[in-house]
A and B are shown apart, each in its own frame.
Chain A
Amino acid sequence: MSRIYARKSGKIGWIYVYHNKLPNPVSIKTLESLTYAFEKLSEVDAIILTGVGKSFLSGANIADMLNFNYSEAWRFSACNERLSDTIKQCRALTIAAVNGYCFGGANDIALACDLRVAKADAVFGHTGAKIGILTGWGGTYLLGKSIGTKKAYELFFSAKPINVQKALELGLVNKVFDSEHFYGELKQFVQRCLSRVKEGRGILNKIRLIS
């Protein structure tokens, strides 16, 4: 199971997802903890969501999902609703800092944030088609809006992972940072964003509505 750790550093809120083992499955508990962390950091100007280790988040636990019926699958998909709404209603600029593997539902959570930055060795993928499902946390809508429906369809259909350069080319990530200096470059990037936070705040919620 994943553990969520949140801290405030000046005007920046950090949410770290720690993994006990890889790949890191996202459980309902993880989503509740993430929602709580975003709510708790309501006073900051920017919130950074990142993973610790090799993975950002890695989607759901397949063994748990195998025997889901319609209602259980519905509930599992619905449990992300509160997190998405909380991220969308955040006063702060939200940034997904993708530090490693980012598959399935993890992509949907990253897409719910305002900006996505990634480590040079991060890997993205929507591999649901390989296991006979589609994504259930908003990805079919958000990915289409982010990179265009044809390219989004290709990612879902092929179920193949893509590297960070491809993600940048597609517009899935806004910026890529060197692996060795990831957190340093991330901090500088956030500081640059903060220098415009006063001007941007008024329009941020309107931009979120466009998507």
Chain B
Amino acid sequence: MRCIRIEEFDNIDEAVVLIKMEDEPTISLAEKFIDMVDESLKTIVLYVSGKKSLPALLCMGAADLVYINKNTELCIKKEEIGLINDKFLSILSGIMNRYILTDLIYTNRTISAEDALRLGMANSIAGYSEILARFKKIDNPPFAVKLLKRIMSINSGLKEKDARFVERMAFALSFCSSDQKEGMRAFLEKRKPEFKGR
């Protein structure tokens, strides 16, 4: 696991990346981040704190796991509304329903950390040191976790029948990995698995 700032996201080898977002990124940086996350098979963990607006919301939508500080406040600024294109809309609708989104746009609503958690926009509210300690303990995830990230992203836009088909392919593919053999052997031998990510 590696901890970085959002600007440093390129060229990271680790399977799990923790990104601490203190300053609001620019829209162009957020867009670059979204594209990179989309192409990446790494697990991207984002930590957000303070007052944030559209770029941060987009990054939250793109990340796999999102943890927020209790002081986090999320909004969409008036001048950012015109920047919301179809791609951004699709990302935003993945982390909030259309009523909340309309609220953010038209009523200048601010979403508190508690609201963000309740709405499913974040995994939990915690201090950065707690999240850092939690992810430092995480071992290298198996190849199946890489597949999982793609499958969940693809499946969110599919009908159940098609999603099941995609999942089945990924499930079968995970049995072609050395990590599956290692994981199951370790389980049967009652020891900790040593995954290689392939």
A positions within 8 Å CB-CB of B: 62-63, 65-66, 68-74, 77-78, 81, 84, 128-136, 138-142, 144, 147-154, 156-157, 211
Which chain A positions have C-beta within 8 A of B184?
62, 65-66, 131-133
Which chain A positions have C-beta within 8 A of B175?
65, 68-70, 72-73, 133
A72 and B43 alpha carbons, distance in the complex (Å):
28
Q: A70-B176, A138-B163 are in contact. List 13 more A-B contacts (CB 8 A).
A: A63-B188, A128-B144, A129-B142, A131-B187, A132-B180, A133-B144, A140-B148, A140-B151, A144-B156, A150-B66, A153-B152, A156-B148, A157-B148
DSSP majority for the A interface?
helix
Between A and B, 19 residue pairs with Cβ closer than 8 Å are A62-B188, A65-B184, A66-B188, A74-B169, A77-B171, A128-B144, A129-B142, A131-B183, A132-B143, A132-B180, A132-B184, A134-B144, A134-B151, A135-B171, A150-B64, A151-B120, A153-B64, A153-B149, A153-B152
B positions within 8 Å CB-CB of A: 43, 64-66, 94-95, 120-123, 141-145, 147-149, 151-152, 155-156, 158, 160, 163-164, 167-177, 179-188, 193, 195
DSSP majority for the B interface?
helix
Do B193 and A130 touch (CB < 8 A)? yes
A110 and B158 alpha carbons, distance in the complex (Å):
21
A131 to chain B, nearest CB (A): 4
Q: How many A-B residue pairs have CB under 8 A?
A: 139
| In the complex, residue of chain A having the shortest beta-carbon distance to the beta carbon of B180 | A132
Which chain A positions have C-beta within 8 A of B182?
132
| In the complex, residue of chain B having the shortest beta-carbon distance to the beta carbon of A147 | B120
Do B163 and A132 touch (CB < 8 A)? no
Which chain B positions have C-beta within 8 A of A132?
142-144, 174, 177, 179-184, 193, 195
Do B155 and A129 touch (CB < 8 A)? no
CB-based closest 6 A-B pairs: A132-B183, A136-B171, A148-B120, A141-B163, A131-B183, A73-B175
A151 and B171 alpha carbons, distance in the complex (Å):
20
Which chain A positions have C-beta within 8 A of B158?
141
| In the complex, residue of chain B having the shortest beta-carbon distance to the beta carbon of A88 | B160
A141 and B157 alpha carbons, distance in the complex (Å):
10
A129 and B176 alpha carbons, distance in the complex (Å):
15
